[in-house]
Amino acid sequence: MGKAEKGTPKYIANKIKAKGLQKLRWYCQMCQKQCRDENGFKCHTMSESHQRQLLLFADNSSKYIDQFSKEFCDGYLELLRRQFGTKRVNANKVYQDYISNRDHLHMNATQWETLTEFVKWLGREGKCTVDETEKGWFVAYIDRDPAAIAAQEAKAKKEKLDKDDQERMLEFIQRQVEKGKKESTQEETTYTEFKRESSQERLTLNLNLKRKTEDKKPEALTKTAFSIKIKEEPSSKKQKTEKSKQSALDEIMAMQEREKEKNNRKDYWLTEGIVVKIVTKSLGDKFYKRKAVVEKVVDKYAAHVKLTDESVKLKLDQNHVETVIPSPGRYVRFVNGAYRGQTGVLKSLNTDEYCCDVEISEGLLKGRLVRGVQYEDISKLVT
* Angstrom distance (rounded) from CA 33 to CA 40: 11
- Report, as an integer, the average pLDDT of 226-252: 57
Q: What are phi and psi of 136, to 5 degrees?
A: 115, -165
Does 190 fall in a domain?
Answer: no
In angstroms, rounded to a whole number, what is the distance separating the alpha carbons of residues 383 and 273? 9
Residue 308 pLDDT more than 70?
yes
The count of residues in the chain is 383
The domain containing residue 118 runs over which residues? 21-141
- Do 170 and 281 lie in one domain? The reply is no
Residue 180: its pLDDT value, please?
80
Looking at the fold, whether 54 and 123 belong to one and the same domain comes out as yes
Question: What is d(CA 173, CA 252) in angstroms, rounded to the nearest whole number?
Answer: 8
* 344 within a domain of the structure (yes/no): yes
pLDDT interval class at 154 (50, 70, 90): confident
Residues 6+ apart with CB under 8 A from 120: 130
166 and 92 belong to one structural domain: no
Could you say which of 100, 120, 141 is where a domain stops?
141
Are 342 and 297 within one domain? yes
Cβ atoms of 313 and 305 closer than 8 Å: yes
Query: Which residue did the predictor score with more confidence, 355 or 18?
Result: 355
List the end-to-end C-alpha distance of the chain, in Å, as a whole number. Answer: 84
Instruction: Indicate the residue among 95, 126, 141 that finishes a domain.
Output: 141
Give yes or no for residue 107 having a pLDDT over 70.
yes
Could you tell me the CATH number of the domain that includes residue 32? Answer: 1.10.10.2030
Q: Do the strands 226-229 and 275-278 form a parallel or antiparallel pair, or are they unpaired?
A: unpaired
The pTM of this model reads 0.39
Average pLDDT over residues 315-338: 92
Instruction: Give how many domains the chain has, as a whole number.
Output: 3
- Is residue 326 very low, low, confident or very high in pLDDT (cuts 50, 70, 90)? very high
221, part of any domain: no
State whether residue 150 is helix, strand or coil.
helix
Q: In whole angstroms, what is the distance from residue 88 CA to residue 145 CA?
A: 18
Instruction: Report residue 282's pLDDT band, with 50, 70 and 90 as the boundaries.
Output: confident
Whether 240 maps to a domain, the answer reads: no
DSSP percent split of the chain into helix, strand, coil, nearest 5: 40, 20, 40
As a whole number of angstroms, the distance between CA 328 and CA 353 comes to 16
Contact 73, 112 (CB under 8 A): no
Q: Same domain, yes or no, for 135 and 151?
A: no
Domain for residue 245, yes or no?
no
> Looking at residues 104-130, what average pLDDT do you find?
85
